[in-house]
Chain A
Amino acid sequence: MTNRLDPPAGTARGPMLKRLAGHRLLWPSLVLIALLLGNLAFTHDFFAVRIRDGHLYGSLIDILQYGAPLTLVALGMTMVIATRGIDLSVGSTVAIAGALACEHIATSSDPDGAGTVLTAVAVALGVAVVLGLCNGLLVARLGVQPIVATLILMVAGRGVAQLITDGQIITVTSDKYHMIGGGHWLTFPFAVLLAAALVALTALVTRRSALGLLIESVGGNPAAGRLAGIRAAGLLTLVYVFSALCAAVAGLMISSNVNAADGNNAGLWIELDAILAVVIGGTALTGGRFSLGGTVLGAMIIQTLSTTVYTLGVPPETTLVFKAFVVIAVCLVQSPAFRARMPRRRKTGHPRSDTTAGAAGRQQEARA
């Protein structure tokens, strides 16, 4: 009995684990590939990538470019969800950041000046840090449930964004600002490069420093984390600030792509798409292990889904129906209660001969 959870032998273990590690990204990858191939069936030049004016064009490039803001928001959301939290306020932060930047540029005397654009970006990011701190403070210090804490900013933030834009759609004419979300650099859309760089940077920081490990520990078992001496409050605050920053960069991208800030509609529903991307990517809502690669795949799946629905000619808004089913399916698969009900049970109790040797130990576990 004593080794009931031990592998039968050490030999099969290594490759087994590697296969499991592969599993984490296997399903999202397959879904993405299936979606892309499905598109190919409808649009024969779907995979075609052309170079025009030294820029890359094509459906795949579009998916990457339009998916960039979502990827960023989902990136921040991943870290929050890894700590067992949730950040509902990212949509509002997207709107606020875009509004602040555009407002600054629109009222400036030199809308295309590098200084103006940099200041605009700095203002947006600075405010995002403050918003993230508010969320972090409520969650980490006051102990408010994350969903409730971030709900406040979700409600108020839209109003703040509209306050900044005075209820109007602020249009800006600044080529330098347009670069962030709509420009190209080295033939690639700049937004894609920016998002890729931020994802890479996040992966580097979380995995090269101990940040990722500590975040996963806090999310995986907060009580054990406390006894191991992890300072959870600081980490929690950090992830909410990071999430707000990511959302702000996404907000800059969205507003710069359309050269306008819309306090009402910018980033609408993006928190939900981001949560969806994270969940599809294999990071559980119950915290713990997070997968940045999975999140990127998740974001791409959602973007491809939107594109697909668009190519199919059905109203684009009906993607919501697909998303609903995806959410439920993914959550069911992740739910232990659901798995327990599946007929395929691996351990259906031990043979009766399993008697009292080491019984104390077993009971201990049974009690727990």
Chain B
Amino acid sequence: MSTGIANTAARLTRPLSRGGSRRAGTRIPLIVTAVLLVAMFTVGSLRYDGFFSTQVVLNLLIDNAFLLVVAVGATFVILTGGIDLSVGSMVALSTMITASLVEHQGWSLGAVIPLVLAIGASGGALMGWIIHTFEIQPFIVTLAGMFLARGLCYTISTESITIDDPTTVSIAQARLYGSGGLFVSVSVIIALVVLLIAFVVLHHTRFGRGVYALGGNETSARLMGLPVGSTKVAVYAISGLCSALGGVLMTFYMLSGYALHAMGMELDAIAATVIGGTLLTGGSGFVLGTALGVLVLGMIQTVINFQGTLSSWWTRIVIGGLLLVFIVLQRLMTGRRAETD
């Protein structure tokens, strides 16, 4: 009988041994994204002088370090099947708080940054708590968070606050040189560290696996005895924390705090996550894919800058088009899965 059961198991597995292909299936968007990135770089290199250089790639990171951090946070939320619309506003609020405390109140950066991060994390946790406890859709709660954060910016100041604080400026302008005169900013290092931590957390901790399980099937996760509530609160807290950190990096990048900073960044973050292969319905995706997604967005911007004749709004149109392609792709693939199961 024991061989019987093994045989049956073998029989049962065989017709569905597309398991491998299915796994490849969830990776198709990621492969598409990688190919897209390489293709854009190749085409750019062939068409434009000075495009084919490592520094161009590094500049992608320098210009998008804050977006990378924010998108990493968004990935956590989207993996659970939620959405966080407040990230852009939270970034703006962080730039405002940082700039105003450093410039107007004369606080030291070392005191301001932990405060900003704490505000971001607790704001996110509060939203997560409301979403979980009162079973309100994430989008409406984070919409309120978006209003609140943006509104608080204006209560601090309606004007842009330029930062002249020497410490801040020196950190912002610091260039970390590598061989051959290549350089990155401090922000890039921070962003990459955040990415690395997120990768380890998502793929190698119980909490991270819980995030995936929650996104796969919330009821199951609860019945399997996973801490669904605290996981939910935690992902929004992480998203808030990442937004706040993204805000600090943006403050370095812009050297100013302004209520109109990071307008629409929530969309860029979501777009980067989706293009990076994370399912908007949750449960499937890779945080490293999100990094690829951010690079694709940056590459679009770079190509358009190099082209010169193309205007900046093409960025939005291309991002929208890519979103459409990836969402339809996701839909067709998950639809197929539903049929086969």
Contact = CB atoms under 8 A, between A and B. Distances in A.
B274 to A, nearest CB: 8
B320 A320 contact: no
A167 B319 CA distance: 17
A166 B314 CA distance: 11
13 contacts: A155-B264, A156-B321, A159-B313, A160-B313, A163-B314, A320-B147, A321-B152, A322-B151, A323-B144, A325-B144, A331-B134, A331-B136, A337-B134
Interface stretch (B170-178, B239-247, B324-332): B324-332
A151 B267 contact: yes
Contact of A148 (B140, B280, B311): B280
Contact of B155 (A263, A315, A325, A335): A315
Given A159-B315, A159-B317, A328-B130, A142 B144 contact: no
Given A147-B139, A317-B259, A338-B134, A160 B147 contact: no
A243 to B, nearest CB: 17
Given A321-B152, A332-B134, A337-B133, A155 B140 contact: no
Given A152-B327, A332-B130, 20 more contacts: A138-B327, A143-B335, A147-B83, A151-B270, A155-B271, A155-B316, A156-B319, A156-B324, A159-B317, A159-B319, A162-B311, A162-B316, A163-B317, A285-B137, A317-B150, A320-B154, A321-B155, A325-B144, A328-B130, A337-B136
Contacts of B333: none
B335 A156 contact: no
Contacts of A166: 311
Given A315-B155, A327-B144, A335 B135 contact: yes
Chain A CB within 10 A, most for which of B139, B147, B328:
B147
A68 B317 CA distance: 29
A337 B135 contact: yes
Contacts, number: 136
A323 B146 CA distance: 10
A119 to B, nearest CB: 25
A317 B156 CA distance: 11
Interface in A94-108: none
B288 interface: no
Interface in B288-341: 311-321, 323-324, 327-328, 331, 335
Contacts of A285: 137, 140
Contact of A159 (B144, B270, B280, B316): B316
A145 B281 contact: yes
A161 to B, nearest CB: 8
A326 to B, nearest CB: 8
A317 B280 contact: no
A331 B133 CA distance: 13
A149 interface: yes
A266 interface: no
Interface in A103-162: 138, 142-145, 147-149, 151-160, 162
A70 B314 CA distance: 28
Nearest to A337: B135
A86 interface: yes
B148 interface: yes
Contact of A156 (B139, B145, B153, B316): B316
Given A163-B314, A317-B154, A331-B140, A323 B323 contact: no
Interface of B: 83, 130, 133-137, 139-141, 143-148, 150-155, 158, 259, 264, 267, 270-271, 280-281, 311-321, 323-324, 327-328, 331, 335
Interface string A166-191: 11000000000000000000000000
A321 B147 contact: yes
B312 A155 contact: no
Contacts of B145: 324
A151 B319 CA distance: 11
A318 interface: yes
B258 to A, nearest CB: 12
Interface in A10-43: none
Nearest to B153: A317
A335 B316 CA distance: 36
Contacts of B319: 155-156, 159
Contacts of A86: 139
A163 B151 contact: no
B338 to A, nearest CB: 10
Contacts of B271: 155
A320 B144 CA distance: 9
A296 interface: no
B140 A143 contact: no
Given A145-B281, A327-B143, A156 B323 contact: yes
A148 B273 CA distance: 13
A156 B267 CA distance: 10
A275 B327 contact: no
Given A86-B139, A159-B313, A152 B148 contact: no
| Top 9 closest pairs, chain A to chain B, by CB | A156-B320, A159-B316, A320-B151, A321-B151, A324-B148, A162-B313, A317-B154, A159-B317, A324-B147
B150 to A, nearest CB: 5
Contacts of B328: 138, 142, 144
B316 A323 contact: no
A272 interface: yes
